[in-house]
Chains A and B, each alone.
Chain A
Amino acid sequence: MSQSDTFWSELQKLFTVVGQIDSSGRLVRASPLLAAQCRWQAQDDFYFFESFSFKRPTSFDGRYESAREAVGQLFLGFNNELGFAVRGQVVDYSGIGLDGLCFVGVPWLWWMEGNAPDQSLTMASFPVHDVQMDQLFFMSTQQSMVEDLQALNEQLKTAKQDVERSNEARQSFFHHVSHEMRTPLNGVVSSLSLMRDLGLDGKLAEYAGLASRSADRLLEVINFTLESASIESHVSDAEFTDFSLDLLIEECLAIASPLVIERGLELRRSGVQKFARPYRGPVKLLRQILGNLLSNAVKFSQSGTITLGAGINEDNSDEQADIIEFSVADQGPGIPDEALPRLFTPFATGLSAETKNHQGTGLGLAIVQRIVEALGGEITVQTVLGEGSIFQFAIPISHAPDDVQIEVARYPSLASADAYRGRVLLVDDNETNRLLNAKVMESTGLDVTTAGSGQEAYDALAVENNAVDLVFMDLDMPGMDGFEATRRIKALPGAETLPIIALSAHSSARDRQLAEEAGMQGFLTKPLVLEPLRAIYTRYLAHDGATPETDEGSLLAPESPVATEAHHDSSVEGALPEEDAGATMTFDRQPVDRLIHEVGVDILQTLVDKFLTESAERWELLSGSLAAADRESAVREFHTLGSACLTFGITAAGEKFRQCEAAAIEKNLPGDEVLLSIAPLLAEGISQLQLLLSEQRG
């Protein structure tokens, strides 16, 4: 065997596609695979470079000379007709007997996979060192891998959506259930509170106290559940308003003051730093944080001073915001070391032997921590047993433009709350109204007792006729009405001069006349508002060191500012209820805003919850009365429901009830189908009322 034959043979061990090409470009010798794929036989005129379309080298033009210039470069060529493609290089072995040029390489597998998949290449078609088969296996598996990942991605996406949906459903369920639980529970809390006010003795007082504490605790847990479910959304949706930090601090101190005074503690603001600039931030959340911390400090302190501090951290490069450092310090018993790690954990408290009587739920601090963190801060506590604790946190608060108008504090100061002194008896058969109006009156510092009927009021005053300084008497009550009760009270020895003010949902001239004839000194239209009440107080009660005014001028005259305080004029008395509520709006937020201002949103929420419970019962009663054509009962329920609706701004439904009441009084009792027209108005009004309260509670 010649040297060239030996070399040719060795080449075919390294490559499966080997061809010797003479200077004319003609294939003169071919490896078996090349020969088979090109259907070439010796002596055939097969011009190798012209038979393939070469994608590489790009400089190659198909001529022999061009191939010589491309020696050592990668050649990629294909022949569609043959269904064959080659991958290799041109080499010049003319020096060792292989004249011309040689092409050495392998089948171009990727081209053939795509363009000639039926060509039966085998593993023998590729030398063992060639990686195209490996790549093919890799690519096949890689494709499978990509499909796996895509499938996995879809699964994760679906799972994420499922989790989110499930989470939303769970949140919604918890929220709904918590709301549903809160409403009746508020009734329990209010009733227990009233029971305790009755001055129970012995075991009854003990059990009522236990029930009251348990109900309070349960209410706190439910409120926490509601808040927990929505803190993140509260923070992200929090209303950012322009505010004065000084005013906010003063406001928080004012809110905490009553309890501080009651517990014999002191409350002050540390430092003298005033915040000259206005800020823009989630003021409701800040108020909630500081309120919770102050409330906690008061709850656990037996004596000493509670200090609220706020200052600017100067180590801040942000020119658009300040880092405000807040602190609430108390001189209470301190927190035991073992309680510190779980202090901010829901349902854990820092209770010690000294503080175990303060059965909080341990939820307030958990909420505070979550809000502080959501606002970009961190809350810490330093404590020394027997000396007290300091809670501190710092959060960035943006600057507001210097010329913004700042909302003034919406909470009345203690000074204004203390403006009047005196004992008041409030007589009203409607429990919601009674509770609400008692709260309004208490907010001005008065000592208020209540009676649920004319008879009850008379009985109370018959026992001790100088027990009160002023009476507010509802006119429309079952049994002994307000007129009769007034006449009887006035007949009691020593009660002739006791001022009695009429309360009525109506302001008709006839009612005023009857009130005056019964001996009443004033006439107020429900719902009660603070300013006309103040006029009454000023006249009949001591205030700010002054004695009651002695002017006996009547407050019953229609033109007097008190008497004309009629927000819901029942000018349609006697008319049949119309199907269309006309232009009356479903909900009027004005009276609700006023009540929030006067008694605070939390108390109002409690009262609204009570109203909702009571309304449902009264609705049933009314429905039964109408079905049985029981006019007297229907008049009473129309009246009560109408009055309560108008009190809470549920205007359209309230007016409807009023119209029905007037019609029923005129012996034109509507059928029970009238309830169908009132129901949607009532539902919509309640819905808007709840929404407003929810917004206000933040």
Chain B
Amino acid sequence: MYGVINKSLRDMVVEQFGEAKWSEVLQRSGVPDDSFLAMQSYDDDITYSLAQACADEMEIDLSDALRAFGVHWVENTVAKQYETLMRAAGSDMLSFLGNLNNLHDRISSTFLNYRPPSFEIKKDAGEQVEILYLSERVGLTPFVEGLLHGLAARFNQEMAIIEIVPQPVARGEQTLFKLSMG
């Protein structure tokens, strides 16, 4: 993953718990240093190790840590660094989600090693929305759950995740999110 992800994780811990706690997380993770460059690609294991160390240090489940990180990613990192793009991608949650693949496609022309997830959005006539999340990576469903909560907050969208249904898949991860959006 790119350095911007790891930086965001660090920022979340520093903002909420301070530098000392981050030092403990870093030490626990075994990652030798935290001088991440936003546009440099790092081994996925670094991100996973850091996330796991965060969870261990906070004495919470990894999924809880990833959910919190998903919210932080939307509310802080993306909002601060890519606000124009966020605005361009949609003025409401549904249109934003609809543009997300398009946004990731554009990013791919700059970040050549970028392996973005994709999202298929289905909305019925009522308030129910289904989002099928597909990724080459495994274990990031809770992060997406956090992203959805972060987006709902950004767009002042009432939203509840009714059900999270893992889908059988040969490689990577595929999850169906059933949402209720008022």
Name A's B-contacting residues (CB within 8 A): 113, 117, 120-123, 125-126, 128, 131, 133-134, 136-138, 140-145, 148-149, 152, 155
Contact = CB atoms under 8 A, between A and B. Distances in A.
Contact of A137 (B3, B90, B91, B110): B110
14 contacts: A120-B91, A122-B90, A122-B91, A123-B89, A125-B88, A126-B88, A133-B106, A134-B107, A136-B85, A140-B82, A141-B39, A148-B3, A148-B36, A148-B38
Interface residues of B, number: 24
B4 A144 contact: yes
B38 A144 contact: yes
Contacts of A134: 106-107, 109-110
The DSSP consensus for interface residues of chain B is helix
B88 A122 contact: yes
Contacts of B89: 122-123
A108 B172 CA distance: 40
Contacts of A148: 3, 7, 35-38
A123 B39 contact: no
Contacts of B87: 120-122
B99 interface: yes
B35 A123 contact: no
Of B37, B88, B90, B103, chain A has the most CB atoms within 10 Å of the CB of B88
A143 B85 CA distance: 15
B84 interface: yes
B38 A141 contact: yes
Contacts of B7: 144, 148
A123 B37 contact: no
Contacts of B82: 137, 140
Interface string B29-57: 00000011111000000000000000000
B37 A133 contact: no
B4 A141 contact: yes
Interface in B66-97: 81-82, 84-85, 87-91
A595 B158 CA distance: 95
B102 interface: yes
Contacts of A113: 84
Given A134-B110, A137-B82, A123 B88 contact: yes
A131 B108 CA distance: 12
Given A122-B90, A134-B110, A137-B110, A142 B84 contact: no
A140 B91 contact: no
A143 B84 CA distance: 14
Given A122-B88, A122-B90, A123-B99, A144 B81 contact: yes
A270 to B, nearest CB: 56
A121 B88 contact: yes
A145 B141 CA distance: 28
Interface of B: 3-4, 7, 35-39, 81-82, 84-85, 87-91, 99, 102-103, 106-107, 109-110
Contacts of A117: 84
B84 A140 contact: yes
A478 B139 CA distance: 92
A608 to B, nearest CB: 50
A130 to B, nearest CB: 10
A113 B84 CA distance: 8
A140 B99 CA distance: 19
B81 to A, nearest CB: 5
A416 B58 CA distance: 83
Contacts of A140: 81-82, 84-85
B81 A131 contact: no
B85 A133 contact: yes
B64 to A, nearest CB: 27
A67 B11 CA distance: 52
Contacts of B35: 148, 152, 155
B19 to A, nearest CB: 13
B81 A133 contact: no
Nearest to B91: A120
Q: Across the A-B interface, give the 3 residue pairs with the lowest CB-CB distance, nearest first.
A: A144-B38, A138-B110, A145-B39
Contacts of A128: 102
B84 A136 contact: yes
Contacts of A125: 88
Contacts of A123: 88-90, 99, 102-103
Given A144-B4, A148-B3, A137 B36 contact: no
A424 B91 CA distance: 108
Contacts of B84: 113, 117, 136, 140
B38 A145 contact: yes
A138 B111 CA distance: 9
Contacts of A155: 35
A134 B37 CA distance: 19
B85 to A, nearest CB: 6
A125 B89 CA distance: 10
Nearest to A113: B84
Contacts of A141: 4, 38-39, 81, 110
Nearest to A119: B87
Contacts of A152: 35, 37
B110 A145 contact: no
Given A137-B82, A141-B110, A148-B37, 9 more contacts: A133-B85, A137-B85, A138-B110, A140-B85, A141-B4, A141-B81, A142-B39, A148-B3, A152-B35
Contacts of A144: 4, 7, 38-39, 81
B100 to A, nearest CB: 10
A189 B13 CA distance: 60
A84 to B, nearest CB: 15
A121 B84 CA distance: 9
A106 to B, nearest CB: 13
A113 B99 CA distance: 20
Contacts of A121: 87-88
